[in-house]
Amino acid sequence: MALKKNIENLWWKRFVLDREDMYGIDAAILMNQEVWKSSGHVAGFADPLVEDMKTKKRYRADHLLEEIGIDPKGMTLAEMDALIKEKGIKSPDGNALGDVRQFNMMFKTHVGASEDETSISYLRPETAQGMFVNFKNVVDSFHPKLPFGMAQIGKAFRNEIAPRDFIFRVRELEQMEIEYFVKPDDWRGVFDAFQKEQVEFLTDDLGLPATFIHQVEIADADRAHYSKHSVDTEFDFPIGQKELLGLAYRTDYDLKAHGLDYFDEESKSRFVPHCIEPTFGVGRTLLAVLSSAYTEDELGGEKRVYLKLSPKVAPYIAAVFPLLKNKPELVDKAREVFNMLRKDSALSGRIAFDDNGNIGKRYRRQDEIGTPFCITVDFDTLGENPENKDTVTLRNRDTGEQERVNIKNLVELLKK
């Protein structure tokens, strides 16, 4: 949770708080079918599916093709169907498969007292539509000039046929999305700028290795129904190179679909703005951070496993220990240091205290959750060696090296 919150906060800071042209919102999760009919999701938000004729279990047709080494990218339903039949592909239970069909991935329910045709609603499969249907609220409240954007972090729900690979593909996912509105002729420059900034967020804010990041232009047949141009950012996960986040040129598709437009004060004209959409999956970003931080090495002749997390995302920036837990004078001093660090607003909530077990075990525990620094209060801190009075040891997670630091310099050092 702490790691996830740090990722979300860094995203919100970069893309919303640090910009003047972005409006953060928190829209409804359940929306009436009319929204999803207009957006094209009722008709078009579907995966290709085949059914085991005996067990009636359903499988993703594109996944079955991938499993026998065929790349289904760009294939139509009919082409996938023909290939499955030609290759005689069976279900994982060894039974014959039916025809490839589209399977809508939205969760359907009824809202209100009556269960009739008009009360059908869907859990949102993307946070995006909540922003489009609130476009007029933002325009009427803030009168923003183009270009401007709306941003949201929240849950989305997809009835994935085959959730798999830990948190890579789940049915309850979380997205961090921006809908950025521009004059129609300006889309290309904005698209390119966001493409660059998406990568900067991954490398500069989250500390992901640039060599793990790949940008892939999406072919016409594979793009979502609303997109005219899409570039996915893929990442080297332990399960292979897979989609981490997306960028789409949604044109005027969505605003038009909901009957919305914009009056431009400058040109005194009314038109439908075009939209660029940078979208990030929170879970996949967390998985990228976790998997690329996992490190095995040897320290002091002992094997260890640790998370080499950037201090910006690590749940704790530092942990404070008394050298021994049964010496009240050490515990009191360590608590004093802990409370002093926690008082600083930049470090608040990011400092741990631990007096459990021996010091070696405490180091290992913090290494395992990626804490970059450990601070130990020892007898020198209390003045046993007057030269070191009011200093503590500061241990570096990656090298295991320790230096003595004056307590009064700790806040600045950790913030840096």
What whole-number distance in Å separates Cα of residue 401 and Cα of residue 125?
Answer: 48
Q: Which of 51, 126, 205, 378 binds ligand GAP (CB under 6 A)?
A: 126
Residue tagged 């046929």 (tokens): 161
Phi, psi of 320 (to 5 degrees): -110, 130
What whole-number distance in Å separates Cα of residue 52 and Cα of residue 72?
Answer: 20
| Residues 285 and 244 sit within 8 Å (Cβ to Cβ) | yes
Of residues 196 and 416, the one with the C-beta less far from ligand GAP: 196
Of residues 121 and 227, the one with the C-beta less far from ligand GAP: 227
| Size of the chain in residues | 416
| Residues 179 and 149 sit within 8 Å (Cβ to Cβ) | yes
Interface stretch with ligand GAP, choices 88-96, 147-155, 173-181, 299-307 (CB under 6 A)? 173-181
Of residues 290 and 410, the one with the C-beta less far from ligand GAP: 290
Q: Which of 7, 123, 151, 173 binds ligand GAP (CB under 6 A)?
A: 173
What whole-number distance in Å separates Cα of residue 215 and Cα of residue 201?
Answer: 14
Residues 6+ apart with CB under 8 A from 291: 237, 238
The reply on whether position 123 binds ligand GAP by CB under 6 A is no
The reply on whether position 105 binds ligand GAP by CB under 6 A is no
Q: Which of 246, 278, 315, 372 binds ligand GAP (CB under 6 A)?
A: 246
| Residues 146 and 18 sit within 8 Å (Cβ to Cβ) | no
Q: Taking the complex as a whole, how short is the minimal distance between the CB of residue 285 and ligand GAP, in angstroms?
A: 7
Neighbours of 353 (CB within 10 A): 19
Cis peptide before 147 (omega within 30 of 0): yes
Residue closest to ligand GAP when measured from CB atoms:
281
The reply on whether position 170 binds ligand GAP by CB under 6 A is yes
Q: Which of 121, 152, 279, 371 binds ligand GAP (CB under 6 A)?
A: 279
Structure tokens at 95: 């039974």
Work out whether strand 274-281 and strand 269-271 pair parallel, antiparallel, or are unpaired.
unpaired
Structure tokens at 36: 């999803």
| Residues 262 and 271 sit within 8 Å (Cβ to Cβ) | yes
Q: Taking the complex as a whole, how short is the minimal distance between the CB of residue 242 and ligand GAP, in angstroms?
A: 9
Q: Which of 22, 80, 97, 128 binds ligand GAP (CB under 6 A)?
A: 128
The reply on whether position 350 binds ligand GAP by CB under 6 A is no
The three-state DSSP-derived secondary structure of 256-268 is HHCCCCEEECCCC
| Binding characters for ligand GAP, 202-241, by CB under 6 A (x = yes) | ----------------------------------------
Q: Which of 245, 275, 290, 359 binds ligand GAP (CB under 6 A)?
A: 245
What whole-number distance in Å separates Cα of residue 17 and Cα of residue 195?
Answer: 19
Interface stretch with ligand GAP, choices 91-99, 186-194, 214-222, 278-286 (CB under 6 A)? 278-286
Tell me the CB-side half-sphere exposure of residue 393, using CA atoms within 13 A.
Answer: 17
| Residues 272 and 256 sit within 8 Å (Cβ to Cβ) | yes
The reply on whether position 144 binds ligand GAP by CB under 6 A is no
| Residues 317 and 351 sit within 8 Å (Cβ to Cβ) | yes
Of residues 68 and 239, the one with the C-beta less far from ligand GAP: 239
The reply on whether position 158 binds ligand GAP by CB under 6 A is yes
Q: Taking the complex as a whole, how short is the minimal distance between the CB of residue 241 and ligand GAP, in angstroms?
A: 14
The reply on whether position 243 binds ligand GAP by CB under 6 A is yes
Q: Which of 8, 34, 79, 160 binds ligand GAP (CB under 6 A)?
A: 160
Interface stretch with ligand GAP, choices 142-150, 190-198, 273-281, 334-342 (CB under 6 A)? 273-281
Structure tokens at 76: 């139509």
Neighbours of 316 (CB within 10 A): 23
Q: Taking the complex as a whole, how short is the minimal distance between the CB of residue 296 and ligand GAP, in angstroms?
A: 27
- Binding residues with ligand GAP: total (CB under 6 A): 18
List of residues contacting ligand GAP (CB under 6 A)? 126, 128, 158, 160, 169-170, 173, 175, 177, 243-246, 277, 279, 281, 283-284
